[in-house]
Structure 1
Amino acid sequence: MVQVVGIDHLVIRVGDYEKSKAFYGRLFAFLGFEVLGDYGDMIGWTNGKTRYWIGEADEEGKKHKHRIGNIGFHHYAFELRSRQDVDDLEAFLKQEGTTIVDPAAEYYEDYYAVFFLDPDGLKLEGMKYGELTAKAAKTVGD
């Protein structure tokens, strides 16, 4: 049986390559990613586990702006180490002037996240799941 062991990479197309390259460059530096490859019309970053690439959309693609709710990409979530990292990401995003669509909060039981937009309106998320449950289990086990 074939078994998927992870998601190797995501590639997105962007409307303004230089603007998006700058946005993602600052974001990924903050998140601890390094440039994996830069080919002039495509750049990718990695943290050793996750790979994220951008490339410029073609002229036809640029005519159709992304709209949350359309068929296709809804959002991409970056799993962070802690709730504090979610708060730190939100502070960074505010400092950068990034559009935050849903501020850092508990969205589901023990699911803490912040949601924000890239320059093309693609929704991204920084999240931490299970931290409170893990702390409670550790306290019970001590």
Structure 2
Amino acid sequence: MSYQYGVGISHLEFWVKDLEESLAFYSRLFPLIGWHELTRTSFSCGVHEIYFKEVPVPLQDSLGVRHICFHAASRDVVDRVGAWLRSTGGTVIRGPQPMPQYNASYYTVDFRDPNGFVLEVAHTPDIRL
């Protein structure tokens, strides 16, 4: 695939405590939401890239984003992520559930990855970016 890059975020770097544990988690999550593997440690949706780097714990010199929300193509994708998380004993914070206080069509699941990062997968067909 070939993509035209424009203005926006190029990539996100995740600092993780255990690279292998993180790669095992994300290599199962990302195909559910339409992302693909670029290299052993990086993934892309075709526009953005996320890559992982193991760092010593505790690492106290960096504050980060509170959470990252990934677009889901449908409510079914959100439900499949929720089912996968439950089947693997993942830490679900909320959902899958509608969030009408955000938007009538907002449907989400919020959860933690193996490092404790808060992630969200949401179907938001009526949200304008």
Query: Fold-level match, TM-score > 0.5?
Result: yes
SS of corresponding position for 1:19: helix
Q: Given the two structures, how large is their TM-score scaled by the length of structure 2?
A: 0.80
Which residue of structure 1 aligns with residue 51 of structure 2?
Answer: 53
Root mean square deviation, CA, Å: 2.1
Cα shift at 1:16: 0.8
Instruction: After the TM superposition, list the runs of 4 or more consecutive aligned residues in structure 1 that deviate by more than 4 angstroms.
Output: none
Contact 2:32 2:77 in 1 (8 A): no
Larger Rg: 1
Q: Which runs of 5+ in 1 are unaligned?
A: 134-142
Which residue of structure 2 aligns with residue 136 of structure 1?
Answer: none
Q: Which runs of 5+ in 2 are unaligned?
A: 1-5
Change (3 A) 1:129 1:32: closer
SS of corresponding position for 2:23: helix
Contact 2:32 2:80 in 1 (8 A): no
Which residue of structure 2 aligns with residue 17 of structure 1?
Answer: 19
Deviations 1:62-91 (A, max 9, x none): 1148xxxx9532001100111222112111
- 1:104 equivalent to 2:96? Answer yes
Cα shift at 1:26: 1.2
> Within 2, Cα distance between the matches of 1:13 and 1:48?
22
The structure whose residues are more often helix, as a share, is: 1
Cα shift at 1:32: 3.0
1:78 alignment partner AA: F
Question: Identity across aligned pairs (percent)?
Answer: 34
> Within 2, Cα distance between the matches of 1:30 and 1:127?
12
- 1:26 equivalent to 2:21? Answer no
Cα shift at 1:125: 0.4
